[in-house]
Structure 1
Amino acid sequence: MTIPDSLPARSRLVHDAIRAAGIPGDIVVLPDAASTAVLAAQALGVEVGAIANSLVFFSDGAPLLVMTSGAHRVDTAALAERLGHGRIQRATPEQVRQATGQAIGGVAPTGHPAPLRTIVDEDLAGYPEIWAAGGTPHTVFPMTYDELVRLTGGTVMKVD
């Protein structure tokens, strides 16, 4: 169990947010950066699909957080059509940091300066436990699919 005071500042914000949401999982500090779903899955000994990637996009001038299974990619054209939006494009590293306060590779589903509109990949529901970044590329935490949806206030839909 990680003591919150020993966590990086960004991860402490995430820890506080998950506790406030009633999520019991602890933030785990990994010895090596797990900035991709494959690296995180290898470090945790889980299927890559059980990694909840936090991807930040921009659509209609606003940030859009997509929590997707590490097993596939987001089809931005199909997602834009489902949402009734114009083009969805990947955020730049600067836009990601501005929207989330976190760096690419460590973006958590929570702990941001302001709530982000969030889409949650329906395929994550197939895993009894999923793992998400904890605010830095070295931190992750477990939760259930239902906890992720509740934590983010996300809209569940197909993203690939």
Structure 2
Amino acid sequence: MSIEAVKNHFKQWSREADVMEFETSSATVNQAADTIGVIPARIAKTLSFRGEGDQAILVVAAGDAKVDNKKFRKMFGYKARMLSPDGVLQQTGHAIGGVCPFGLANDLDVYLDVSMKRFGTVFPACGSANSAIELSLAELFQYSKATNWVDVCKDWDQESDE
């Protein structure tokens, strides 16, 4: 079970008990925001893209951000092509709705988009369609083993705050 892999991942920092499980769905940004009681932008969504070769890459972005194809190509050197639902499950071990950069099935490069930097904390999913954890940006970077911060998104409100 995917959420168990995520909880196991968080054990190394004694944070497994901080994984929240909900009675209602948190599969979409808006559902997660409603369930947790925050603005949608504070939901840290994990997007899965075809990388070079057989490995995918993950980009974690604010809930109100959209991938900018020009920025993506400039950053990574290839076109942004999202994985199919089967590809996401195969690469991450998580089904759509619970995809996160924790407890991954494969060792994937994780990038954090600057669209999240306007918040003190964000809420990424935890491997299921009804879970999340509240993390500071430093914790998200550490726990996701992120490669770097990137600027590959558009249409997010730079004036937004918590």
Whole-angstrom CA distance in 2 between matches of 1:55 and 1:21: 24
Give the TM-score, by structure 2 length.
Answer: 0.86
The residue number in structure 2 matching 1:68 is: 61
The residue number in structure 1 matching 2:103 is: 111
Alignment check: 8 A CA contact 1:51 1:69 kept: yes
The residue number in structure 2 matching 1:89 is: 81
Whole-angstrom CA distance in 1 between matches of 2:40 and 2:88: 23
Deviation at 1:76, TM superposition (A): 3.1
Question: Percentage identity across aligned positions?
Answer: 24
Residues 99-127 of structure 1, C-alpha deviations (whole Å, 9 max, x = no match):
01110110121111222111101121221
Whole-angstrom CA distance in 2 between matches of 1:21 and 1:96: 26
Whole-angstrom CA distance in 2 between matches of 1:80 and 1:14: 30
Alignment check: 8 A CA contact 2:98 2:128 kept: yes
Instruction: Report the AA paired with residue 83 of structure 2.
Output: A
Deviation at 1:153, TM superposition (A): 2.3
Whole-angstrom CA distance in 1 between matches of 2:152 and 2:115: 9
Instruction: Report the AA paired with residue 43 of structure 1.
Output: T
Q: How does 1:1-80 map to 2 (within 5 A)?
A: 9-21=1-13, 23=15, 26-61=18-53, 62-80=55-73
The residue matched to 1:88 in structure 2 has which SS?
coil
Alignment check: 8 A CA contact 1:50 1:130 kept: yes
Runs (5+) with no aligned partner, structure 1: 1-8
The residue number in structure 1 matching 2:90 is: 98
Alignment check: 8 A CA contact 2:42 2:123 kept: yes
Whole-angstrom CA distance in 2 between matches of 1:158 and 1:139: 27
Whole-angstrom CA distance in 1 between matches of 2:74 and 2:100: 26
Give the TM-score, by structure 1 length.
Answer: 0.87
The residue matched to 1:90 in structure 2 has which SS?
coil
How many residue pairs match? The answer is: 151
**Cα distance change, pair 75–104 in 1 and its aligned pair in 2 (3 A):** same
